[in-house]
């Protein structure tokens, strides 16, 4: 899962980045409104954390431009405490949730998890498909309710496929959402991770559609 953090205060943005990385998310940072707008318009993110008071272009204008251009990713806005007109305006402009500063980082992470789940159509923190399930609160993978030990990268791969279950996910999309910008990104590395996971989860849980991508489905075909 890739998250865009838009925040011009270094102390706040580094706190958010660190906590999100520890929770298994890839992050990108934009420190002004123009860069934020550009990244959100040209790259694919699973969620955006958007501060409203920003240099160059304010957060509300950025959000309105994304929504006008048809960008649908969930957006959580960070507002000043007590500034209720700002929150109303933000939600009217297309924000999905808000958090008032100062906030507890645990609350931000919980809201982000819930927003990502809901945007993928899942109401519960546990997502299942056939024998496999994940608990997004604890970053756990289970087969027939028994825990399976996985690496953070393996968890991210399984979690992405389960959030998008019953849909064939192209390798390029998976690579984009699994790896940070500095990590090596290639289809062979991805195939190696899938091979390792098949040994841990069973051969059929992650299916390959040759030439199209990978699939985790409710029913095995
Ligand atoms: Ca700010």
pLDDT mean for each 10 residues of the chain (221 residues): 96 96 93 97 95 96 95 94 86 94 95 93 89 92 95 94 95 87 76 95 94 90 61
What is the CA(205)–ligand 1 centre distance, in A? 44
| CA–CA distance, 70 with 203 (Å, rounded to integer) | 39
What is the CA(101)–ligand 1 centre distance, in A? 10
Q: Which pLDDT belongs to residue 42?
A: 92
Q: Which pLDDT belongs to residue 82?
A: 77
Q: Which pLDDT belongs to residue 214?
A: 96
Q: Which pLDDT belongs to residue 169?
A: 96
What is the CA(57)–ligand 1 centre distance, in A? 11
Q: Which pLDDT belongs to residue 121?
A: 85
Which among 137, 101, 135 has a CA at the least distance from the CA of 15?
101
CATH superfamily of 2-119: Response regulator (3.40.50.2300)
What is the CA(70)–ligand 1 centre distance, in A? 25
| CA–CA distance, 58 with 106 (Å, rounded to integer) | 26
| CA–CA distance, 53 with 79 (Å, rounded to integer) | 8
Candidates 1.10.287.1080, 3.30.565.10, 2.60.120.380, 1.10.10.10; correct CATH number of 126-215? 1.10.10.10
Q: Which pLDDT belongs to residue 95?
A: 96
What's CA 92's distance to the chain center, in Å? 23
| CA–CA distance, 17 with 156 (Å, rounded to integer) | 17
The conformation of residue 168, written as its DSSP 8-state character, comes to P
What's CA 153's distance to the chain center, in Å? 14
Q: Which pLDDT belongs to residue 40?
A: 96
What is the CA(120)–ligand 1 centre distance, in A? 29
Q: Which pLDDT belongs to residue 177?
A: 87
What is the CA(173)–ligand 1 centre distance, in A? 31
Q: Which pLDDT belongs to residue 182?
A: 60
What is the CA(12)–ligand 1 centre distance, in A? 9
What is the CA(103)–ligand 1 centre distance, in A? 14
Q: Given the DSSP bridges, would you call strands 47-51 and 2-6 parallel, antiparallel or unpaired?
A: parallel
């Amino acid at each position: 899962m890739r998250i865009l953090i838009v925040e011009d205060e270094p102390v706040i943005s580094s706190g958010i980045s660190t906590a999100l990385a520890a929770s298994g998310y890839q992050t990108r940072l934009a420190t002004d409104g123009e860069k934020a707008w550009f990244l959100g318009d040209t790259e694919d993110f699973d969620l955006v954390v958007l501060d409203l008071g920003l240099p160059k272009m304010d957060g509300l204008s950025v959000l309105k431009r994304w929504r006008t251009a048809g960008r649908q990713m969930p957006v959580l806005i960070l507002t000043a405490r007590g500034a209720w007109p700002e929150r109303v305006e933000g939600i009217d402009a297309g924000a999905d949730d808000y958090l008032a500063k100062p906030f507890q980082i645990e609350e931000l992470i919980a809201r982000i998890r819930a927003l990502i789940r809901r945007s993928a159509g899942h109401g519960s923190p546990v997502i299942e498909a056939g024998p496999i399930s994940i608990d997004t609160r604890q970053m756990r993978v289970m087969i027939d309710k028994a825990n399976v030990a996985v690496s953070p990268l393996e968890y991210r791969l399984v979690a992405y496929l389960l959030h998008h279950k019953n849909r064939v996910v192209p390798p390029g999309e998976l690579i984009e959402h699994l790896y940070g910008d500095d990590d090596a990104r290639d289809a062979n590395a991805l195939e190696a991770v899938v091979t390792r996971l098949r040994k841990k989860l069973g051969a059929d849980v992650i299916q390959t559609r040759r030439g199209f991508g990978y699939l985790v489905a409710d029913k095995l075909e």
